[in-house]
Structure formats: C-alpha cells, structure tokens
Amino acid sequence: MPRNPLDDVDWDAVKRYKKLVLIVPLFILIAVGALTSYYIVQPEEEAVIKRFGLVVAQKEPGLHFKLPFGIDTAQMVPTARVLKQEFGFRTQGIDGRTSYRKDSMHRDESLMLTGDLKVIDVEWVVQYRVSNPDKFLHQVRDPEQTLRDVSESVMRRIVGNSLGSDVLTEKRVQVANLSRAELQKAMEYFDLGIQISTIELQDVTPPEPVKPAFNEVNQAEQERERFINEAEKRRNQVIPRAEGEARQVIAEAQGYAAKRVNAAKGEADRFTAVYEAYLDAPDVTRQRMYLEMIDKVLPQAGRIFIMDENQTAPLPLLNLGDSPVTVPANR
C-alpha cells in the first residue's frame, strides 16, 4: 500500500506551531514594508521617485515616505555638488596633498591642433552640476562620457580656430569662455540636465619635444635684454664722466680768459702809469731805465768783451775762458 506522505506529517506539531508559522512571515512582511517605505535625502542631493518605473516626483533633502516593496523606488542624485572632469591629467589623492598624473593616455586627451596647424598641449577642467536629476538619469545613458566627448570636441574646435601663440598667452580666458558657452549649448541640445559652471584651462604648453626650443626663445629674449642693459650700463659709465670733464674744460678756458684779460688790464695799467711818470721827465727817466736794465743784464751774462774801435783784437775785461774765442775784428 502506497504511503500517503501526508501521514508522516506530525500534524500535532503543525497545530502547535501554526500560529508561529503565520506570525513570522507576517512580521517579516511588515518589517520589510516598514524599511522600504521611507528614504532620506542628503543635503546635497535630490531624489527621483519612480513608481513601477515611471517618474512621479522629485524630492528635496529630508525624510520622505514612499510605497514599500519596490513599488516606489528612490534614486538620489547629488545636484548641489559641483562635479569635475579633468582633461589631460588626473588629480590623485582627494584630501591632503594632491599630485597630478599625466601619462601617454592623458596626453592624447590634451594634444590638439591649432589654427596654424601646429600642435599644442592644453589641459583643462570642466566643472558642472546636475541641474535636472530626472533628465540626468533618463535622457542619456552615460551622461559623464557624453560630457567628456563633447568637451574634447568643443575644445579642439575652439583651439583649432585660434592661433597657437594666442592660446599659449593672451587668449586663454577667451578660449575657456567660448568653450564653456559652446559646451553648455551642447548640453542643452542633448537635454542632459547638466549645467556647466566653468571651464578652466590648466597648463597650456607646447608639446614635450618642442618645449626646449620654446625655453631657448625665453632665454634668448632675456639675453637680448641683458645685452641691451649692459650697453646702457657702459653708456652710463662713460657719459656722465664725459659731461663732467666737458664742464672742466670749459671752466679751465674761463679761468684762462679771466687770467688773460686781467693780465692785459694789469699790464696796460702799469704801462699807462709808467708812461705818465715818464712824461714828467722823459730824458732822465729814459736814462735811468736804461741803466737799471744794464744793472740787471751785465751780471747775468757769461762773458763780456769790450771792444775798442781802434783795436783789432778783443780786449778781455774779465776772466778769460780756456777756449779761444774768435770774434770778428771789424764790423
């Protein structure tokens, strides 16, 4: 006789535990229901509430209730947080000291062509915020990747429409502003629910192999300044001294002039004075002056010969020198 499997059941035990068998699942049911009927939205977040997959509400930060058992689901999106994407490098270490990493993959991101068909290495950061969490979640499958792709494309278009030397220097801000505007427009086109806060250009440099040549230009520029400065220095060493010397020459000439004129005046005055005295008694004065001169001259002379008209040989008056002196006898 085949055994009825139900005969083996300890029906007494079933009766005994009947209550428990009903209560435990019920309790679990209530617990699960309670746990899935509320959610907390953090201050920087917004919640998107979906009922059977259909978006029914967006909630602000705080405690909220919903239908349990997965009928309603809540998805939190950090709308208040400013998010960041880096191009051409990656920041490492969130807190404390940060370091920047750049390898060949990142270099591919940042190397681009300029309008003058050169190559330039532009690193930049896009800061953005989720402005519409519903759209952010449901409009595009991978919004971050879309943002990356579009941002790269936009930056390359703008840089490709500028001169490389401008992007390196004065047009940095302009490039950032233009690409921000264009990126924002693209975000609106995709209806991504993303608001672009800023685009900031980081390091904008010539490509690695060209850098030494660029540095050489900077050095040469400084060298040029140095050359010029040195020449100015030489100039400053010479010119003020020459100016001083010029003033000296002029002053000396003025001194000479004063001396010369004064001497002339003195001499003239003396002459006039002597002449006036002379006019009082011309003959005597003349005689006296002549003799005074002789007084001075004769003692000075080395030898003096006094000749008589009638004699033929010179007549030595004072000491006769060793060497014979021949003097013409007659005039």
Query: Using CB under 8 A, which residues numbered 169 to 228 contact other proteins?
Result: 186, 189-190, 206-207, 209-210, 212-214, 216-217, 219-221, 223-228
Closer residue to other proteins (CB): 96 or 302: 302
Looking up tokens 């040469």 gives 220
194 close to 147: Cβ distance less than 8 angstroms: yes
- What does the alpha-carbon distance between residue 154 and residue 160 come to, in Å, rounded to a whole number? 10
Residue 16 touching other proteins (CB under 8 A): no
Q: Name which position in 118, 131, 172, 181 contacts other proteins (CB under 8 A).
A: 118
Going by C-beta distance under 8 Å and a sequence separation of 6 or more, which residues neighbour residue 44?
Answer: 61, 78, 79, 80, 81
Which residues, numbered 240-279, are part of the site for other proteins (CB under 8 A)?
Answer: 242-243, 245-247, 249-250, 252-254, 256-258, 260-261, 263-265, 267-269, 271-272, 274-275, 278
User: 89: closest CA among 81, 80, 98?
Assistant: 98
Binding test (CB under 8 A) with other proteins, winner from 37, 131, 153, 197: 153
**Candidate list 298, 319, 322, 326; residue touching other proteins; CB under 8 A:** 298
Q: Considering the rule CB under 8 A, would residue 324 count as an interface residue with other proteins?
A: no
Pick out residues in 61-80 that bind other proteins (CB under 8 A).
none
Q: Residue 138, interface with other proteins (CB under 8 A)?
A: yes
Q: Is 327 one of the binding residues for other proteins (CB under 8 A)?
A: yes
Closer residue to other proteins in complex, CB, 61/115: 115
Q: Which residues contact 83 (CB under 8 A, 6 or more apart)?
A: 127, 128, 129, 130
What residues have CB less than 8 Å from 13, skipping those under 6 apart? none
Name the segment binding other proteins (CB under 8 A); options: 36-44, 80-88, 125-133, 303-311: 303-311
| Residue 126 to residue 147: CA distance in whole angstroms | 9
Q: 48 with 55: CB under 8 angstroms? A: yes
For residues 138 and 81, what is the distance between their CA atoms, to the nearest angstrom? 19
Angstrom distance (rounded) from CA 121 to CA 106: 10
Between 198 and 272, name the residue whose CB sits nearer to other proteins.
Answer: 272
Number of residues engaging other proteins in binding (CB under 8 A): 114
Q: Indicate whether 302 belongs to the interface with other proteins (CB under 8 A).
A: yes
Q: Which residue of 10, 141, 319, 326 would you call a contact of other proteins, by CB under 8 A?
A: 141
C-alpha span between 142 and 85 (Å, rounded):
14
**71 phi and psi angles, rounded to 5 deg:** -65, -50
